[in-house]
Amino acid sequence: MYTLHCDSPLGGILLAADEAGLTGLWFEGEKYFANILGPEQQERETPALQRTKRWLDVYFSGREPDFTPPLHPVGSPFRRAVWELLLQIPYGQTTTYGALAQQLAAKQGKTRMSAQAVGGAVGHNEISIIIPCHRVVGTSGSLTGYAGGIEKKVRLLQLEHVDMSRFFVPTKGTAI
């Protein structure tokens, strides 16, 4: 496992990759920070980490990157299915946990899927920003839940020029 620290307009970021691709992208200090990293890791700029750094430079310049670095998300089949759906959310757009649950249910031939279960998988996405969990909002417009913090979620959506007028930051609850 290889790691690389880089700076962003929203604070420090830790990247992690193995030989197959990017396995983690975390804001320093976020919930679940680097929780998949074992004690054996080297700070080294691999090709996957270089491409990720270039992707982040393009993204934080306010443009949509026209490439995706090699990704190697590690998780259960359910979580990986949810993360695949996240990758389909277009830049500058949002969806809801409920809509993702409906998509996943349809894809798996089920009549329904728990939005809470989908929310749990979204919340445990280890490759934030690139697998865009920040683009998922509550059905009511609540900007609920983001491991990097609600402030960062708001700033990422603003960077993508999302119309924020229909969203609000919850003032109480477990997802703030």
Q: Summarize pLDDT for 35-69 with one digit per residue, the tens.
A: 888 888 889 999 999 999 999 999 999 999 999 99
Residue 42 shares a structural domain with residue 82: no
Annotation marks residue 133 as catalytic: yes
Query: Taking Cα atoms as reference points, which of 171, 147, 164, 155 lies closest to residue 30?
Result: 147
Domain encompassing residue 12: 2-61
Neighbouring-strand partners of residue 71: 22
Assess whether pLDDT exceeds 90 at residue 175: no
Per the residue annotation, which of 85, 118, 127, 133 is the catalytic one? Answer: 133
> Is 95 contained in some domain?
yes
> Is 31 contained in some domain?
yes
Q: How many CA atoms lie within 13 A of 140 on its CB side?
A: 5
Residue 86 shares a structural domain with residue 139: yes
> Is 115 contained in some domain?
yes
Assess whether pLDDT exceeds 70 at residue 21: yes
The torsion defined by the Cα of 146, 150, 151 and 156, in degrees rounded to 10, comes to 50
Total structural domains in the chain?
A: 2
Rounded to two decimals, what is the model's pTM?
0.93
